[in-house]
Amino acid sequence: MKQGARIAIAGAVIAALAAAGGYSIGRRGAPAGHGDSVPVVANATAANHAKKVRKLLYYRNPMGLPDTSTVPKTDPMGMPYIPVYEGEDDPEPASANQIRISTEKIQRLGVKTEAASMKAIDKVVRAAGRIEPDERRVYAIAPKFEGYVERLLVGATGQSVAKGQPLFEVYSPELVSAQREYAIAAQGVQALDTAGGDAQAGMKQLADSSLMRLKNWDISDEQIKALTRSGDAKRTMTFRSPVSGIVTEKKALQGMRFMPGETLYQITDLSSVWVLADVFEQDIGLVKAGAKASVTIDAYPGKVYGGRIAYVYPTLKAETRTVQVRIELANPGQLIKPGMFAQVELAVTGRNHVVSVPVSAVIDSGTRHIVLVQAGQGRFEPREVKTGARSDDDVEVLQGIADGERVVVAANFLIDAESNLKAVVAGFGQADRTGSKANAGAPAADTPTGH
């Protein structure tokens, strides 16, 4: 009994010492001014867990509609609402005419924006063309009297000829008679040189008439002088090329008979050619005569020929809705052949200092033009615009966009599709609210029952 009492007393002493030691440790760890308050032992794991927990603000509509909820729910299409936590960028919901996209989704879609700016719109009109001979440099060889082709001196189409080069010889009874008539009249004038009166005047008049007849038949001055010197009429007459060029047409055959005015040869000077380009109807208002043009020939890739617009034709081709534009092009070395295809770039007068956006920013629906404007972080507003002049990279905005506003230039079709889906979902939501008016007193299906 005495031994049990001693064990009990020893346990009580140990308990008292333990309590006193804990009290002393708590006093040393407690901050000043806390008096004798009971110490709180911090748990590191619990503290770190508390730091990771974010404060839930609300749940927003997954399609960006101006509809939020304090509890989890789904939209009429069964899509769950997205939680919005404290500290997220731009937690403000989008307005009715805007669509909201999360930062994560913007990065996933590859959305890019660019600011509208004031700049000059330089436009280049491109058209397909073909090479044609200069109509003013085409010459027809057509005798003005009846005769026969006695001898061909140039006998092939496509052959190059020089100015004054003999082409063919002809025999004509009328030409021989006219030569003899002039030769006799010329000799008579010389014989009656000392005589006076009406005889000399009449002979001179006959000589002048015969000479005019030969000139009207395109007999050259050299041939007439030779006839005057010799006094002998030649049986044949030689026709020569009036210009250096190419024989583009030859109807003359050895021994054939020809009638007055019949074309036997056609010579084309190709030192300068035409480019006839077909400009589309919507661009023809920008094209003016005198503007510079750059021409590339398919046969000579990489080589650019410079020219100017000489004429804009007054008629439109109904089949292609194009207007022809004529460009005069120098052809040194005659490398450019009639009939070749060409690509034409026409520099037209641009507009300076206009509000413009990249071409990729404009969505053309066929009836209107839409641009997506960045209204805030993750918020975009579809806006209808009126466009003007257009270049390869930029388009003028006449109405709807101000200078400096940021517009979407990449992935805008995806955002526009989501915007259209938003409108459809809004219509479904409106129909759902209209249909549920009769059950207004019933509790919401997605309202939690409580915890």
Sorted by sequence, the CB contacts under 8 Å of residue 58 that are 6+ apart come out as: 68, 69, 70, 83, 84
Q: 3-state DSSP helix/strand/coil percent for the chain, to nearest 5? A: 30, 35, 35
Which of 21-35, 82-96, 318-332: highest mean pLDDT? 318-332
Is the model more confident about 292 or about 416? 292
pLDDT computed for residue 448 by the predictor: 40
H-type helices in 127-220, by residue range? 173-191, 198-216
**pLDDT at residue 429 is higher than 90:** no
- Specify if 415 maps to a domain: yes
Sorted by sequence, the CB contacts under 8 Å of residue 59 that are 6+ apart come out as: 68, 69, 70, 71, 72, 73, 81, 82, 83, 84
**pLDDT at residue 126 is higher than 60:** yes
Query: Average pLDDT in the 309-330 region?
Result: 94
Lowest-confidence pick of 49-63, 222-236, 300-314, 383-397: 49-63
Contact 141, 167 (CB under 8 A): yes
* DSSP-based three-state secondary structure for 318: coil
- Specify if 60 maps to a domain: no
Indicate if 324 and 293 belong to the same structural domain. Answer: yes
Give the CATH number, domain containing residue 302: 2.40.30.170
**pLDDT at residue 268 is higher than 80:** yes
Q: What tokens does 433 get?
A: 């609210």
Structure confidence at residue 146 as a pLDDT band (50, 70, 90) = very high
Q: How far is CA 189 from CA 203, 221, 222, 224, 256, in A?
A: 6, 19, 20, 16, 38
Domain boundary among 243, 262, 281: 262
Domain around 241 = 145-262
Q: How far apart are CA 49 and CA 83, in angstroms?
A: 20
pLDDT in tens, 327-339: 999 998 889 999 9
Contact 66, 97 (CB under 8 A): no
Number of domains in the chain: 4
Sorted by sequence, the CB contacts under 8 Å of residue 81 that are 6+ apart come out as: 59, 60, 61, 62, 68, 69, 72, 73, 74, 75
Give the CATH number, domain containing residue 398: 2.40.420.20
Indicate if 117 and 155 belong to the same structural domain. Answer: no
pLDDT computed for residue 183 by the predictor: 82
* DSSP-based three-state secondary structure for 298: coil
Indicate if 109 and 215 belong to the same structural domain. Answer: no
- Specify if 317 maps to a domain: yes
Query: Average pLDDT in the 158-173 region?
Result: 93
pLDDT in tens, 347-397: 776 677 889 999 898 988 788 898 988 888 778 888 899 988 787 788 889
Nearest alpha carbon to residue 287 among 322, 336, 339: 322
Lowest-confidence pick of 106-115, 319-328, 347-356: 347-356
H-type helices in 193-348, by residue range? 198-216, 221-230
pLDDT in tens, 65-103: 667 788 898 888 787 888 877 765 444 555 557 777 777
pLDDT computed for residue 88 by the predictor: 57
